[in-house]
Chains A and B, each alone.
Chain A
Amino acid sequence: MTQPRAPRVLLAVWGGAVLVFLLLPILLILPISFSAGTFLSYPLPGLSLRWYRVIAEPFPWVFAFKNSLVVGVAATILSVVLGTMAAYGVTTAAFRFRTAVVVLLLSPMVVPVVISGLGIYFFLNRAGLLGSYTGLVIAHTALGIPFVVATVGATLQGFDRTLIRAAESLGGRPHAAFFDITLPIIMPGVVSGAIFAFVTSFDEVVVALFVSSPETLTLPRQLFSGLRDQVTPALVAIATVLIALSIALMMTVEYLRKRAARLSASTAQ
């Protein structure tokens, strides 16, 4: 049962065109990070790793990278703890305005970041946290929580609550049942949520523009100012590193998603 030839060829051409459209700009710019020259242009005057050496200098790139890492990890941990608790609450408990609470929890995903950023700016200013790590972590946690709520919530949908009853009947107190049974089973959702939360913080530029200071300069923020001040292949080198990092993270997410599907299939059986 083979399909007629013409539609298949057409589909391949169309699919290829979409891929080229999506990837070409990125693929075209990446080689420039290996340029020996100082301009973002072709033809390359020669190949060198000089821009990778530049971004390996302590300041500003490694400094900004470290800041991003610290803020990202802290915001991720907070998002995961709060987001998992929120997701567990809204999927387990029956209460009035449940849907409203879910929408509220997910709203940072859809509210324009500039609006969130402005709100966070005023809030942190009032709280005296503007320009501090704490302030930035709080801001990024707020942006990261919805991703955790969404992924953990989705995993909890397929979670068989009889397992909790079973654990309790066997002498497991509620917290033991959560850590022994629920958490290991929903772990793929938690980890996916964590990765999304981390990427959100690590890529975040708008809120960082509002609330970061020279001491808490993050990588995207530094990239952004770099674009304004002096455009060099160092930016492309940074971008290349970030793309590699993102690909690695996304592959992890995909792997976990497949594993979760396998696990829940075996539970259902």
Chain B
Amino acid sequence: MTFMDNAILQASRTPTAGESAQYDRGDLVRFVDVEKTYDGSTIVVNRLNLAVRRGEFLTLLGPSGSGKTTCLMMLAGFEAPSGGDILLDGRSLKNVPPYSRGIGVVFQNYALFPHMTIAENVAYPLRQRKQSRAEIDRRVGEALGMIELAHLADRRPAQLSGGQQQRVALARAIVFEPDLVLMDEPLGALDRRLREQMQLEIRRLHATLRNTVVYVTHDQGEALTMSDRVAVFNRGRIEQVASPEEIYERPATAFVANFIGNNNAIPAVVREFSATSCKVELRGGHRVQAAATRTFAAGEAVLLSIRPELIEVDGRVAAMNTLAGEIRDITYYGDHALVHCICAGDVIVNARIGIHRKRSLERGSKVRLSWRPEDGRAFEIEAGK
């Protein structure tokens, strides 16, 4: 269902004039109308504007092929924009080669130099900067201490585990104290436990070093737990840039709502509209209240979006939106379960329930779904998609 909605609803939002306005002192990086195409016809990045604030942890989140990695590679200098410009500290990066940008990069496959020891790997950026032997030794020692791998300094990368290798890659990218560190899905190759551990470690490093991090991932959980702000990419554009809470609780577009977390997207028609809220009619004539994400006209078709965890099954609280349904199926997830209800004739609505509730519910039960009016959000349906 989510997949279908993603395909149908390619809502996109052009940044407002204020966002792409002149340079702000608090911004370390600005993408100004950046475009990228490899073959002249397929547009990978589409007139993109984005500001990275000094000291923040910004995550570029999106499905594969949405342009997020391309943006990172353009910022690192490995790809050149086809149009527009990228500013670092207010200066254009056009004609600035990667080795002069002074940006730390952590790659997905670690990219450690296999013929060098761990210490030599970490020393490499310092050697390129012609620092003294003593200075290099001191800073390599410090960096390896920070990632707690000082005892492996003389090993080669192949002798280390994946998690250890990624920590070395991190140390190598920060040892020369760059203001900006880019990370391209750095934890993609690790298993879940190690990934969670590394997420904490990266957060800790960021808090200690107070540098700016631009982090690319397609894992929404990672984006929500690690970032100060998240930029959601879709088809070479940014759908929304905001804090994780904002992105999750108040998604700006149907794409963001569907891409992040689980979501119900129910087709509906606007009946009444007033400033920020509206009354929408579901198929079968049932009407509910919803928050409006923009101005709607009466009669306009919208998608009503509600998070499954915000829907109560047979809740006791009154004065809520309610919808009668019948349980089609229950999916067990261990720590919770999803109830799939068929409502209003033909719409499937998913609701999340605690595992203790699962025992009292079964397939075929008639239930009453309820949610607070502001938890349902009405999104426009993009024409032609």
Give A210 Cβ to nearest chain B Cβ, in Å.
43
Compute how far the CA of A142 lies from the CA of B172 in the bound complex, rounded to whole angstroms.
43
B-facing residues in A100-148 (Cβ within 8 Å) = none
Tell yes or no: A181 within 8 A of B by CB.
yes
Tell yes or no: A266 within 8 A of B by CB.
yes
Tell yes or no: A185 within 8 A of B by CB.
yes
Q: Which residues of chain B have C-beta atoms less than 8 A from A266's C-beta? A: 114, 156-158
Compute how far the CA of A167 lies from the CA of B111 in the bound complex, rounded to whole angstroms.
9
Tell yes or no: A99 within 8 A of B by CB.
no
Question: Are A165 and B129 in contact, CB atoms less than 8 angstroms apart?
Answer: no
Tell yes or no: A267 within 8 A of B by CB.
yes
Select which of B104, B109, B112, B157 is within 8 A of A169 by beta carbon. B104
**A169-B99, A172-B99 are known contacts. Are A160 and B128 too (CB-CB below 8 A)?**
no
B-facing residues in A61-96 (Cβ within 8 Å) = none
Tell yes or no: A241 within 8 A of B by CB.
no
Compute how far the CA of A267 lies from the CA of B204 in the bound complex, rounded to whole angstroms.
29
Question: Are B115 and A185 in contact, CB atoms less than 8 angstroms apart?
Answer: yes
B-facing residues in A136-192 (Cβ within 8 Å) = 160, 162-163, 165-174, 176, 180-181, 184-185
Question: Are A166 and B176 in contact, CB atoms less than 8 angstroms apart?
Answer: no
Q: Which residues of chain A have C-beta atoms less than 8 A from B128's C-beta? A: 170-173, 176
Compute how far the CA of A218 lies from the CA of B105 in the bound complex, rounded to whole angstroms.
54
Tell yes or no: B332 within 8 A of A by CB.
no
Q: Which residues of chain B have C-beta atoms less than 8 A from A166's C-beta? A: 105, 107, 111-113
Tell yes or no: B248 within 8 A of A by CB.
no
Question: Are A170 and B78 in contact, CB atoms less than 8 angstroms apart?
Answer: no
Q: Which residues of chain B have C-beta atoms less than 8 A from A168's C-beta? A: 77-78, 97-99
Compute how far the CA of A266 lies from the CA of B172 in the bound complex, rounded to whole angstroms.
19
Compute how far the CA of A169 lies from the CA of B97 in the bound complex, rounded to whole angstroms.
9
Compute how far the CA of A172 lies from the CA of B128 in the bound complex, rounded to whole angstroms.
6
Compute how far the CA of A165 lies from the CA of B99 in the bound complex, rounded to whole angstroms.
9
Tell yes or no: B348 within 8 A of A by CB.
no
Compute how far the CA of A240 lies from the CA of B77 in the bound complex, rounded to whole angstroms.
58
Tell yes or no: A230 within 8 A of B by CB.
no
Compute how far the CA of A6 lies from the CA of B250 in the bound complex, rounded to whole angstroms.
77
Question: Are B105 and A181 in contact, CB atoms less than 8 angstroms apart?
Answer: no
Select which of B97, B113, B173 is within 8 A of A163 by beta carbon. B113
Compute how far the CA of A176 lies from the CA of B77 in the bound complex, rounded to whole angstroms.
17
Contact with A along B277-298 (1 / 0, CB 8 A): 0000000000000000000000
The residue in B98, B101, B129 that gathers the most chain A C-beta atoms within 10 A of its C-beta is: B98
Closest B residue to A184 by beta carbon equals: B115
**A171-B125, A172-B128 are known contacts. Are A165 and B111 too (CB-CB below 8 A)?**
yes
Q: Which residues of chain B have C-beta atoms less than 8 A from A185's C-beta? A: 114-115
Tell yes or no: A263 within 8 A of B by CB.
yes
Question: Are A167 and B124 in contact, CB atoms less than 8 angstroms apart?
Answer: yes
**A162-B107, A266-B158 are known contacts. Are A171 and B176 too (CB-CB below 8 A)?**
yes
Tell yes or no: B103 within 8 A of A by CB.
yes
Give A256 Cβ to nearest chain B Cβ, in Å.
14
Tell yes or no: B102 within 8 A of A by CB.
yes
Closest B residue to A165 by beta carbon equals: B78
Q: Which residues of chain B have C-beta atoms less than 8 A from A263's C-beta? A: 114-115
Give B128 Cβ to nearest chain A Cβ, in Å.
4
Tell yes or no: A269 within 8 A of B by CB.
yes
Tell yes or no: B51 within 8 A of A by CB.
no
Question: Are A172 and B114 in contact, CB atoms less than 8 angstroms apart?
Answer: no
Q: Which residues of chain B have C-beta atoms less than 8 A from A269's C-beta? A: 158
Give A248 Cβ to nearest chain B Cβ, in Å.
26
Q: Which residues of chain A have C-beta atoms less than 8 A from B302's C-beta? A: none
Q: Which residues of chain B have C-beta atoms less than 8 A from A162's C-beta? A: 107, 109, 111
Q: Which residues of chain B have C-beta atoms less than 8 A from A169's C-beta? A: 76-77, 98-99, 101, 103-105, 173
Compute how far the CA of A109 lies from the CA of B113 in the bound complex, rounded to whole angstroms.
34
Closest B residue to A162 by beta carbon equals: B111
Give A165 Cβ to nearest chain B Cβ, in Å.
5
A-B contact pairs, 9 of them (CB 8 A): A162-B107, A163-B113, A165-B78, A165-B98, A165-B107, A170-B104, A170-B128, A172-B99, A185-B115
Instruction: Pick the 8 closest A-B CB pairs, nearest first.
Output: A266-B158, A171-B128, A170-B125, A166-B111, A169-B105, A168-B98, A162-B111, A267-B114
A172-B128, A174-B99 known; 5 new pairs, CB 8 Å cut-off, are A168-B99, A169-B99, A170-B99, A172-B99, A267-B158
